[in-house]
């Protein structure tokens, strides 16, 4: 009995582990939506109106209802387990904000790359970015209504993804779906950390 009480108390007193996860992907793919769907704090957003001036560059085909865009980042928090808290950083989707990425990526455990199968090429740059820097990532296809569903293997081939990269299909508006995506990223990233720690056979 006493042991149980003590262990509960010490577990409660332990500081939770906090991890940083990026949410990336092309313009209008649902990054801000994803962070907002799971965040237990009011997410910090840096949305600006899509202006007439930006119309030639900001391609809203597929997300015609979109009136704003992220100009710096989204920020949210989710407690995955009582001892594990994720800080989510959504990246801006447009190419003109690339200069912010290195700053946002610092200290990140891993990333989610959101993809829209109608404009798969929009997430190539994000996939490239994380591959080059060795940041573990998972790809999540955000299913918009009325879009064709492709078998995950077709998407994997189109993105030329390594077998080890988790590929999920989900809905950025749905809390449970987003949680599954985040769990997959964390598990994948932690497995990579473990692998890196394994002694090299001589």
Q: How far is the CB of 23 from Mg ion (least distance, A)?
A: 9
Contact letters for ligand GTP, residues 38-67 (x by CB under 6 A): -------------------------x-xx-
Q: Which of 21, 38, 69, 108 binds ligand GTP (CB under 6 A)?
A: 69
Q: Which residues, 76 to 135, sit near ligand GTP by CB under 6 A? A: 92-93
Measured from the CB atom, the residue of 145 and 162 that comes closer to ligand GTP is 145
* CA-to-CA separations, 171 to 24, 59, 100, 116, 178, in angstroms, rounded: 15, 21, 26, 11, 7
Binding region for Mg ion (CB under 5 A): 31-32, 70
Question: Which residue's Cβ has the minimum distance to Mg ion?
Answer: 70
CB-based contacts of 45, cutoff 8 Å, min separation 6 = 32, 36, 70, 74
Q: Which residues, 133 to 152, sit near ligand GTP by CB under 6 A? A: 142, 144-145
Partner from Mg ion, ligand GTP, none binding residue 77, C-beta < 5-8 Å depending on class: none
Task: Tell me the torsion sign for CA atoms 54, 58, 60, 61.
Answer: positive
3-state secondary structure of 87: strand
CB-based contacts of 189, cutoff 8 Å, min separation 6 = 109, 110, 136
Strand partners, 22: 89, 111
Residues that bind ligand GTP (CB under 6 A): 27-33, 63, 65-66, 69-70, 92-93, 142, 144-145, 171-173
């Amino acid at each position: 009995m006493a042991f149980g009480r003590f262990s509960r108390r010490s577990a409660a007193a332990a500081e939770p582990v906090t991890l940083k996860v990026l949410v990336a992907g092309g313009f209008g793919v649902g990054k801000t939506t994803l962070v907002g769907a799971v965040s237990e704090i009011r997410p910090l957003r840096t949305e600006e109106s899509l202006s007439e001036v930006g119309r030639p560059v900001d391609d809203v085909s597929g997300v015609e209802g979109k009136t704003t865009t992220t100009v710096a980042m989204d920020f949210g928090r989710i407690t995955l387990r009582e001892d594990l808290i994720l800080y989510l950083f959504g990246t801006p989707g447009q190419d003109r904000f690339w200069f912010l990425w290195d700053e946002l990526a610092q200290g990140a455990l891993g990333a989610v790359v959101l993809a829209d199968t109608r404009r798969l090429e929009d997430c190539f740059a994000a996939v490239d970015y994380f591959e080059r820097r060795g940041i573990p990532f998972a790809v999540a296809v955000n299913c918009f209504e009325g879009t064709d569903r492709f078998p995950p293997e077709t998407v994997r081939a189109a993105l030329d993804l390594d077998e080890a990269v988790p590929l999920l299909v989900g809905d950025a508006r749905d809390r449970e779906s987003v949680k599954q995506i985040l769990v997959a990223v964390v598990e994948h990233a932690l497995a990579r950390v473990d692998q890196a720690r394994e002694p090299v056979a001589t």
